[in-house]
């Protein structure tokens, strides 16, 4: 629907929907700096924090909800609804002390006061709901390490772990652990999906699915900036759902949306040089924000197989060293990313390995393929890689490179949902995938190779099994000291490299193109969108 309207009409419609236009003669243009507008081409499936499994759902949830703790742009933990916390080693217990000035968004269903303060019992309810099989939240795993939790009183929430787990507080910062009010969630008057209520800097206003979503400023939000001014600065957030990336770019260049995120093949050369700089004709017209992104893009082997090409470590090594990752990043990603030559853990996380794991060496790769052929009698090894259309260019590049060393790579393009389903049941022999850290600890990456996590029990889609690796993984969970834990992480990453368990492609970069009037936006390694301190100049 919206894609048939002009940019000006879309913007006018959104302003009208949120009631920003009064009966005076102020024009839409004069009001524009009060609204932040972005497009979500992947659509949003839920505004319930229990279903924040991907960025399209996470981004609006970050505006609407709060949890116990939060990350800053450098991934340092800081208070959110909890003012502070203490950890008792002897019992693996966290005691969180809550603020007394956090209110849920106003809603008539709360009664005469239209709101109420958040108390510890609200976190009990929210956690109960997260693990309730009837809710079927994909985030229930977040509480797997938790033995029990309870409200000591209105301002003290206690969590006891089954055993030490160093990364636990990072889990508590995930949107899954946001607080929601029981009486609103269970209200029969209006389904929570139709009118969700949280505590965040912006409150729900309206949602016409696949057309527009509007959030309004929460006038009773508890956070203030460094100068004591109440957040947020913006009056509203308006989200459209244009499905085509090229259409999204057109609207951005016309000024009807304020930001586009990510680097799509359809417009990367239009905006960027091969070195990752803005093209000359856009230097004074738009701004670019970039930063490390805790996302490893890779190709995974199905290792529990009788197919010789997959079970041969020699051939897996040939694939890993048979293409130039640096050239791939320059020509296919316009410099937006770092070649994954070191290992699976991205740079910047404790435990990442600075040693080169995959040195491009076409001559050695040919030799390994020849040895494989001599041992198996297979003159032309064949492997089929499954990918989505978004990464077809990378797989076709790999196809051309591997042909030069004697491997025939066939490329299957699948819909994202089909690829995910087939990967989950082990039906793909070689597949494109990525792993975005759920929390900033290398354990999140290393869990992909722990054998008890073989899919469907966990994210070990490759069915990788190594006893030494499993032993190190279990040992790392009991180590609190970050340096000692990092040493164990490096050992595990080295095993992944030595076994050629995957084909790491690149460590991603978060990329945002923004209008020059947008101020205060920061980028973070999780690529989360925080708008409470963003504003726009008139």
| 160 and 149 Cβ atoms separated by less than 8 Å | yes
Do 485 and 526 lie in one domain? The reply is no
From 256, 257, 284, 281, select the one nearest 269 (Cα to Cα).
281
Q: What is the pTM of this model?
A: 0.84
Return the closest-CA partner of residue 217 out of 205, 230, 228, 201: 201
Domain boundary among 137, 159, 193: 193
Same domain, 72 and 172: yes
Q: What's 520's DSSP letter? A: S
On whether both 415 and 457 belong to a single domain, the answer is yes
Tell whether 496 and 482 lie within a shared domain.
yes
- Terminal CA-to-CA distance of the chain, rounded, Å? 29
In a domain, 397, yes or no: yes
In a domain, 275, yes or no: no
* Residue 367 parent element (H or E): helix 362-376
Residues 243 and 126 occupy one common structural domain: no
| Exposure string for 505-525, b = 16+ CB within 10 A, e = fewer | bbbbbbbbbbbeebeebebbb
> Is 357 a member of any domain?
yes
From residue 507, give the alpha-carbon distance in Å to each of 269, 427, 526. 20, 26, 12
Closest alpha carbon to 476 in 493, 460, 464: 493
Residue 154: closest CA among 201, 120, 204: 120
Using the 3D structure, point to which of 193, 227, 242 is the last residue of a domain: 193
What's 117's DSSP letter?
B
Are residue 55 and residue 81 in the same domain, yes or no? no
The verdict on residue 276 lying in a domain is no
Q: What angle do CA 49, 52, 53 make, to 5 degrees?
A: 155
Q: Are residues 96 and 120 in the same domain?
A: yes
List, in order, residues 6 or more apart from 69 with CB less than 8 Å away: 77, 78, 79, 80, 82, 85, 169, 172, 173
CATH number assigned to the domain comprising residue 182 = 3.90.76.10
Q: Are 465 and 446 in a shared domain? A: yes
Q: Cβ distance 528 to 24 under 8 Å? A: no
Residue 403 and residue 430 share a domain:
yes
Question: What is the Cα 30 distance to its own chain's centre?
Answer: 34
In order, the DSSP letters of 4-33 are GS-HHHHHHHHHHHTT---SS---HHHHGG
Residues 228 and 375 in one domain: no
Residue 94 covered by a domain: yes
Q: pLDDT tens digits, residue range 430-468? A: 999 999 888 889 999 999 999 999 988 888 999 999 999
Domain that holds residue 425: 293-508
Alpha-carbon distances of 465 from 446, 451, 501, rounded to whole Å: 12, 5, 10
Q: Find out whether 337 and 329 touch, Cβ atoms under 8 Å.
A: yes
Which one, of 504, 36, 472, lies nearest residue 239 by Cα?
Answer: 36
Provide the CATH number for the domain around residue 432: 3.10.105.10
Query: 206 and 312: one domain?
Result: no
The shares of helix, strand and coil residues in the chain, as percent rounded to the nearest 5, are 35, 20, 45
H-helix or E-strand spanning residue 119: none
**What digits encode the pLDDT tens for the residues 26-71?**
444 556 789 999 999 988 999 999 999 889 999 999 999 999 999 9
User: For the chain, what is the domain count?
Assistant: 3
The Cα 441–Cα 526 span in angstroms is 12
538 residues of the chain, pLDDT tens digit each: 444 444 444 444 444 444 443 344 444 455 678 999 999 998 899 999 999 988 999 999 999 999 999 998 888 899 999 999 999 989 999 999 999 999 999 999 999 899 999 999 999 999 999 999 999 999 998 999 999 999 999 999 999 999 888 889 999 999 999 999 999 999 988 999 889 999 999 999 999 999 999 999 999 999 999 999 999 999 999 999 999 999 999 999 999 999 999 988 889 999 999 889 999 999 999 999 999 899 999 999 999 989 999 999 999 999 999 999 999 999 999 999 999 998 899 987 888 877 767 899 999 999 999 999 999 999 999 999 999 998 999 999 999 999 999 999 999 999 988 998 999 888 999 999 999 888 889 999 999 999 999 988 888 999 999 999 999 999 998 888 888 999 999 999 999 999 999 999 999 999 999 999 999 999 999 999 999 999 999 9
The token pair that represents 102 in the structure block: 């956090």
Q: Where are the beta strands (DSSP E) in 218-286?
A: 236-240, 259-261
Residue 72 to residue 174: CA distance in whole angstroms: 13
Q: How far apart are CA 435 and CA 97, in angstroms?
A: 33
Is 54 a domain residue? Answer: yes
Torsion sign (Cα): 493, 497, 503, 507 = positive
Six-digit token string for 492: 């595990």
Residue 146 pairs with which residues in a beta bridge? 161
Cα distances (angstroms) measured from residue 391 to each of 71, 246, 412, 500, 514: 30, 16, 11, 22, 24
Q: Which of 299, 508, 295 is nearest to 387 (CA)?
A: 299
Q: What are the φ and ψ backbone dihedral angles of 459, each rounded to 5 degrees?
A: -90, 15
Full DSSP string of 72-95: -TT--EEESSEEEEEEEGGGTEEE
Residues 370 and 447 in one domain: yes
- Phi, psi of 190, rounded to the nearest 5 degrees: -135, 125
In a domain, 128, yes or no: yes
Residue 172, domain member (yes or no): yes
């Amino acid at each position: 629907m919206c894609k048939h309207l002009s940019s000006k009409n879309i913007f006018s419609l959104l302003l009208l929907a949120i009631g920003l236009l009064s009966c005076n003669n102020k024009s839409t243009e004069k009001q524009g700096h009060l609204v932040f507008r972005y497009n979500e081409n992947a659509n949003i499936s839920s505004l319930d924090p229990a279903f924040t499994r991907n960025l399209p759902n996470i981004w609006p949830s970050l505006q609407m909800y709060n949890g116990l703790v939060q990350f800053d742009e450098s991934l340092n933990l800081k208070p959110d609804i909890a003012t502070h916390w203490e950890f008792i080693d002897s019992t693996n217990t966290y005691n969180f002390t809550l603020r007394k000035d956090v209110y849920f968004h106003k809603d008539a269903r709360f009664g005469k006061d239209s709101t109420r303060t958040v108390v510890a019992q609200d976190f009990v309810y929210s956690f109960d709901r997260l693990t309730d099989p009837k809710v079927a939240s994909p985030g229930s795993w977040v509480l797997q390490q938790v033995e029990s939790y309870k409200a000591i009183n209105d301002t003290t929430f206690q969590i006891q772990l089954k055993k030490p787990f160093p990364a636990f507080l990072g889990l508590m910062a995930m949107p899954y652990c946001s607080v929601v009010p029981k009486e609103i969630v269970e209200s029969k008057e209006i389904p929570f999906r139709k009118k969700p209520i949280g505590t965040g800097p912006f409150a729900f206003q309206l949602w016409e699915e696949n057309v527009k979503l509007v959030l309004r400023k929460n006038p009773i939000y508890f956070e203030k900036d460094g100068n004591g001014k109440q957040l947020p600065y913006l009056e509203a957030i308006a989200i459209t759902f244009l499905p085509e990336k090229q259409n999204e770019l057109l609207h951005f260049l016309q000024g009807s949306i304020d930001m586009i995120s990510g680097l799509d093949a359809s417009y990367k050369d239009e905006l960027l040089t091969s070195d990752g700089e803005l093209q000359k004709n856009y230097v004074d017209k738009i701004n670019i924000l970039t930063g490390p992104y805790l996302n490893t893009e890779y190709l995974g082997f199905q290792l529990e197989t009788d197919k010789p090409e997959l079970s041969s470590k020699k051939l897996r090594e040939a694939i890993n060293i048979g293409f130039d990752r640096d050239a791939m990043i320059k020509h296919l990603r316009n410099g937006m990313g770092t070649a994954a030559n070191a290992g699976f853990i991205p740079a910047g996380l404790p435990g990442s390995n600075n040693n080169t794991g995959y040195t491009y060496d076409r001559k050695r790769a040919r030799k390994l393929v020849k040895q494989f052929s001599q041992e198996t009698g297979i003159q032309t090894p064949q492997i089929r890689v499954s990918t989505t259309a978004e990464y077809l260019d990378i797989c076709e590049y790999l196809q051309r490179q591997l042909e030069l060393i004697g491997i025939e790579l066939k490329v299957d393009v699948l819909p994202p949902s089909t690829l995910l389903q087939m990967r989950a049941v082990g039906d793909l022999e070689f597949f494109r995938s990525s792993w975005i850290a759920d929390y900033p600890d290398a354990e999140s990456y290393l869990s992909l190779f722990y054998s008890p996590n073989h899919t469907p029990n966990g994210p070990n889609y490759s069915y990788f099994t190594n006893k030494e690796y499993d032993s190190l993984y279990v040992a790392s969970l009991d180590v609190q000291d970050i340096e000692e834990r990092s040493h164990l992480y490096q050992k595990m990453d080295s095993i992944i490299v030595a076994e050629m368990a995957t084909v790491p492609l690149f460590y991603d970069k978060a990329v945002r193109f923004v209008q020059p009037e947008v101020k205060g936006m920061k980028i973070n390694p999780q690529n989360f969108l925080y708008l409470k301190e963003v504003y726009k100049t008139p």
